[in-house]
Structure 1
Amino acid sequence: MWSPRPLRIRSLAGQVLLLQLAVVAVVLLAVAAVSVHQSTVGFRDLQGQRMIAVAENVASTPVVRELLSAPSAGTVLAPEVDRAVNLSGATLAEIVTADGTVLVSSDPTRLGAAAELGASDVATGRAWSGDVVVDGRRAIAGHVPILSPAGSVLAIVAVSDDYPSLWDLLSSAGARLLLYLGIGAGLGLLGSWLLSRRIKTHTRGLEIAEIANLADHREALLHNIREGVVAVNTEGVITVLNDSAQELLDLTADAVGRRVDDVDLEPAVRQYLLSGDDSGDVVLSTASRVLALSRRTATSRGQRIGTVTTMRDSTELASLQSQLSSHKSVTDTLRAQTHEFANQLHTISGLTQLGDYDAVTDFVGTLTRRRAEISDAVTQRISDPAVAALLIAKTSLAAETGVTLVLEPDSRLRALDPELATDVITVLGNLVDNAVDVSQGGRDARISVRITDSDGITVEVADSGPGVPDSLREEIFARGVTSKPDTPGGRGVGLALVRLVSAQHGGSATVSDAPVTGGALFTVHIPRSKDG
């Protein structure tokens, strides 16, 4: 058997329209209820006094007092109660005996019946007005006693008027109230329709389920991609922070909705998130990671609403880059030595052809002593073979570029654990490479290296370059920038990796002015507890 399906309004605009209509209906009902209540209170107050006045008029009529005890009182006094009804517009007028029996009534069918006096205290000899129920109808009544010369109650005059119907009460409020209610209902309907249309426009015609599905897909996509995503509005408040970004920045989900300034972030990362322009890939270093960030301006309908920054963890890539730089350094050193050996062999060959064998012997001896001096100067102070080999290679490579690399006489380093030795090589190699870059081409280009392990491991590299301004001494580690004038884009992640390695060991990396060479002095300290 076919049965009709219940009507379901699925559109958001339709639901809003129905909700607004319900609100308008509730308001109209409330206004009508207030109006009915006020009309009822007004009717009770006015008619109550009026019913008492009519009852007093009847009770004070001489003929009523004279004929009250007559056998035919019900017939003789009937004109009096009828006259009271006609003059006052009351529904019912009665004279009731002291025991509550109807003696005279404007309704002949009630003669001899029990009167409905309600909560009246007229039996005490005082006039009373209030609500009573007469033949099942609610009415406002006025009761006045007829007293004997001695003050006892002989009878009671009861005059009542039925309460008007609901429609009568609304009508009595006046046509103006009905007009206002009608205008309010019309305006409410119009406003509800306009609001539903506006909502439909702003939601692009999407319904509730579609909006919810879009929000779910957005959350799933944002929180499951490997790249970190951070959105910041024009007021500097974080509006989006996916799971990857929380991990990369060491934040929690409660950072969403807070200002960037109020979140525990590295200063360089905070400054980058608050800067508003588009940028290419920028490498930043935190205490535990090297991050590659890219920022774009977010707009909606032509209005700028903030920025969106994506980030990737480049720590492993930075380590590989450092290793590649080390291999390149070794290759460059071998190339330089090959070139040097070729020149030396040509010299030996020429001396041999000239038959000057004593000169050949002296030349070879000089080369041997010079090579031994460089090796001995390093190995006598540096016991770790890997670090010593790096210093020897960097000395040769620096010499080829016209830079003198000197290991300070008070340097001392014992043999290290292989893992720690790798980190020290990373720090030392990047610092020396940076020093060579900024020193070469200058007069009396010189690099001074000091390595000590008396209180942890301390690596100091001083160069003869232009130095590092105070304003860049923190940023130079965070973003890998350099003070070298012809490389405004920075050295990449070399110095950032230096700070990262030191931070992983609980140490520090700082830069200051070099007192002897006149350039910059980079100092990296790794505490003893972390040096194996």
Structure 2
Amino acid sequence: MRKQRKLSSLWSSLVRSGRSLAGQFLLFQLVVVAVVLGAVAAVSVHQSTTEFRQLRGQRMISVAENLGSTPIVPDQIDNPMVESVLAPEVDRALNLSGADLVEIVSPAGIVEVSSDPTRVGARAELGSSDVRQGRSWSGDVTIDGTHSIVGHVPMLNSAGTVLAIISVSEGYPSIWELLSGAGARLLLYLGLGAVLGLLGSSLLARRIKRHTRGLEIDEIASLADHREALLHSIREGVVAVNPDGVITLLNDSAQELLELSDADVGKRLDDVALDPSIREFLLSGDGGRDTVIATPSRVLALNRRPATSQGQLIGTVTTMRDSTELASMQSQLTSHKSVTDTLRAQTHEFANQLHTISGLAQLGEYDAVTDFVGTLTRRRAEISDAVTQRISDPAVAALLIAKTSLAAESGVRLELNPASRLGALEPAMSTDVITVLGNLIDNAVDVSEGADKASVAIGIRNHDGLVIDVTDSGPGVPIDKRETIFARGVTSKTEVPGGRGIGLALVRLVSAQHGGTVEISDAPSGGAVFTVTLPRTGDARG
């Protein structure tokens, strides 16, 4: 771990040094080679020391046993002149074995004969030897400051008593001597390491330069910082998805719009909490055009394009904008256009009626004029009374009256269910009800136009909660389309895809903002029934 920390620190210092990428890798590789060679040298020294201890230890014991078995040695061991008598035998053993020191030691540990005459009479260094117990022994002993491998062999009489100890020792070679002995291997390792290091660093540097477009590390870091700053500061949401459907990028705006977090980066789209329509769009092959998707809380405008690198598809990038406010403004403009169309229809109707009255007057049919005006007055009163008697909120009542005239011009009969009841609402609630009801009526009139007995039935109840039912005489909505019709900017009118889909999206958005729901079912006589349920709402009065 310490070496790893040192290498990591060294690499950091190389990065900060300003050298080129290839130079940094070359220096780092050379440092790694030096560290490896140091480790090899340490292992080599340890192995050589172990081998020396094992081989020379046995050799020292063999030399001592051979000296002890020489006949003259046990015969003359008690001779008062033992030093001079056995000195030639000790020197011969020294010369034949290559040992550094050969001695004959008394059982009391005093040197009696030695290849080094200055040691005669001195106390021998026996270390942890158990030779006095009559057993041969080899091990490490420090003799006159020299770390040595020693072999001890006892000389025994017939009774098994130790008469003397024969000690043969050889000093350990120095570290330099051990390294010199392993010089060939170290040179081989050095050469191979240097060649492989240079070759590897060169190839690695070339590969990295190719993938980094020739940029150096500080330039890459600067680009990465700028990329992060730009992506997370723009207002548009940006989502990148790789070919496997894994999210690779999610900027701050996208996290807010999709209600995700940084923890979702790296996850598959199927494993994150996304609206199904958004997930389907991100995984689809559609791209290159704006698509409006309405979630329960937002209306999003999305654009998805493929991302390529060197001709290879690496994923897709989707940008998104929050169009909720824009959709609300579009709905308001649509409402104003509806009022304009209603006024235009009424103007056209009034013009026809005035022409009829003028013609009757010119013909002198004054009684017919009176009857005609009376009929028009009663019909207008019937329409107004049918609505105002059941709907007390003036804005909602005005919308229904206007939509009745507009639908009639399209050949569609608009009817209010006699059981409908609605009191006056708070202004904010009234505005949202107009948005919901107006968009549902427009959609119903569109799909009913041209049908046999084209009609639209409306029901409004505000008892346990506000419930709005709009039933059309169109072709109905297939079950598999009843979710996407609110999400993808489409309409239930099959021959006009993309027509008024934003209106249906607003219906679901407004309902969700109030904690309500929107459901689609089949009408008993054909067509579809759109049912909006909102939590209980109090009337503004009473």
Q: Which TM class, normalised by the smaller chain length?
A: over 0.9
| Runs of at least 5 residues in structure 2 that lack an aligned partner in the other structure | 1-12
Answer whether contact 2:491 2:501 (CA < 8 A) is retained: no
Secondary structure of 2:99's partner?
coil
Secondary structure of 1:138's partner?
strand
In the alignment, structure 1 residue 367 sits paired with structure 2 residue 376? yes
Q: Which amino acid aligns with 1:290?
A: V
What does residue range 29-428 of structure 1 map to in structure 2 within 5 Å?
Answer: 29-170=38-179, 172=181, 175=184, 179=188, 182-428=191-437
Kindly state the Cα deviation for residue 15 of structure 1 after the two structures are TM-superposed: 3.2
1:169 to 1:531, Cα distance in 2 relative to 1, 3 A: farther
Kindly state the Cα deviation for residue 495 of structure 1 after the two structures are TM-superposed: 0.2
Secondary structure of 2:289's partner?
strand
The structure 2 residue matched to 1:442, chosen from 451, 472, 475, is: 451
Q: Which amino acid aligns with 1:136?
A: G
Kindly state the Cα deviation for residue 172 of structure 1 after the two structures are TM-superposed: 4.9
Secondary structure of 2:520's partner?
strand
Answer whether contact 1:420 1:531 (CA < 8 A) is retained: no
Kindly state the Cα deviation for residue 371 of structure 1 after the two structures are TM-superposed: 0.8
Kindly state the Cα deviation for residue 483 of structure 1 after the two structures are TM-superposed: 3.2
Q: Which amino acid aligns with 2:536?
A: R
Partner residue of 2:5?
none
Deviations 1:361-385 (A, max 9, x none): 1111111111111111111111111
Partner residue of 2:520?
511
Partner residue of 1:528?
536
- Separation in 2 of the partners of 1:295 and 1:283? 12
Answer whether contact 2:468 2:533 (CA < 8 A) is retained: yes
Deviations 1:184-218 (A, max 9, x none): 44324422332233223323333333322222222
Kindly state the Cα deviation for residue 530 of structure 1 after the two structures are TM-superposed: 7.5
Partner residue of 2:492?
483
Deviations 1:203-257 (A, max 9, x none): 3333333322222222221111111111111111111111111111122221111
- Separation in 1 of the partners of 2:97 and 2:403? 123
1:520 to 1:206, Cα distance in 2 relative to 1, 3 A: same
Kindly state the Cα deviation for residue 519 of structure 1 after the two structures are TM-superposed: 1.4
Kindly state the Cα deviation for residue 98 of structure 1 after the two structures are TM-superposed: 2.9
Secondary structure of 1:493's partner?
helix
Partner residue of 2:10?
none
Query: Aligned pair count?
Result: 526
Secondary structure of 1:277's partner?
coil
- Separation in 2 of the partners of 1:208 and 1:190? 21
Per the normalisation by structure 2, the TM-score is: 0.91
1:176 to 1:216, Cα distance in 2 relative to 1, 3 A: closer
Answer whether contact 2:327 2:502 (CA < 8 A) is retained: yes
Kindly state the Cα deviation for residue 337 of structure 1 after the two structures are TM-superposed: 0.9
| Runs of at least 5 residues in structure 1 that lack an aligned partner in the other structure | 1-5
Kindly state the Cα deviation for residue 477 of structure 1 after the two structures are TM-superposed: 0.9
Answer whether contact 2:462 2:537 (CA < 8 A) is retained: no
- Separation in 2 of the partners of 1:477 and 1:135? 99
1:470 to 1:530, Cα distance in 2 relative to 1, 3 A: farther
Kindly state the Cα deviation for residue 326 of structure 1 after the two structures are TM-superposed: 0.8
Answer whether contact 1:457 1:531 (CA < 8 A) is retained: no
Which stretch of the first structure deviates more once superposed, 186-195 or 319-328? 186-195
What does residue range 467-478 of structure 1 map to in structure 2 within 5 Å?
Answer: 467-478=476-487
Kindly state the Cα deviation for residue 159 of structure 1 after the two structures are TM-superposed: 0.8
Answer whether contact 1:92 1:105 (CA < 8 A) is retained: yes
1:428 to 1:285, Cα distance in 2 relative to 1, 3 A: same
Kindly state the Cα deviation for residue 171 of structure 1 after the two structures are TM-superposed: 5.6
Answer whether contact 2:423 2:539 (CA < 8 A) is retained: no
Kindly state the Cα deviation for residue 460 of structure 1 after the two structures are TM-superposed: 1.1
Kindly state the Cα deviation for residue 311 of structure 1 after the two structures are TM-superposed: 1.0
Partner residue of 2:4?
none
CA RMSD in angstroms comes to 2.2
Kindly state the Cα deviation for residue 291 of structure 1 after the two structures are TM-superposed: 0.9
Kindly state the Cα deviation for residue 504 of structure 1 after the two structures are TM-superposed: 1.0
Secondary structure of 1:297's partner?
strand
Kindly state the Cα deviation for residue 453 of structure 1 after the two structures are TM-superposed: 1.4
Which stretch of the first structure deviates more once superposed, 150-159 or 163-172? 163-172
Answer whether contact 1:277 1:297 (CA < 8 A) is retained: no
What does residue range 451-462 of structure 1 map to in structure 2 within 5 Å?
Answer: 451-462=460-471
Deviations 1:26-53 (A, max 9, x none): 3333333333323322222222111111
- Separation in 2 of the partners of 1:373 and 1:530? 28
- Separation in 2 of the partners of 1:530 and 1:54? 115
Deviations 1:413-468 (A, max 9, x none): 11111111111100010011111111223332211111111221111111122211
Deviations 1:371-416 (A, max 9, x none): 1111111111111111010000001111111111111222111111
- Separation in 2 of the partners of 1:94 and 1:189? 55
Partner residue of 2:23?
14
- Separation in 1 of the partners of 2:92 and 2:319? 96
Secondary structure of 1:118's partner?
coil
Answer whether contact 1:506 1:530 (CA < 8 A) is retained: no
Kindly state the Cα deviation for residue 328 of structure 1 after the two structures are TM-superposed: 0.7
Which stretch of the first structure deviates more once superposed, 61-70 or 386-395? 61-70
Per the normalisation by structure 1, the TM-score is: 0.93
Kindly state the Cα deviation for residue 62 of structure 1 after the two structures are TM-superposed: 2.4
- Separation in 2 of the partners of 1:480 and 1:159? 101
- Separation in 1 of the partners of 2:461 and 2:383? 19
Answer whether contact 2:37 2:186 (CA < 8 A) is retained: no
Answer whether contact 1:505 1:530 (CA < 8 A) is retained: no
Q: Which amino acid aligns with 1:368?
A: T
Q: Which amino acid aligns with 1:154?
A: L
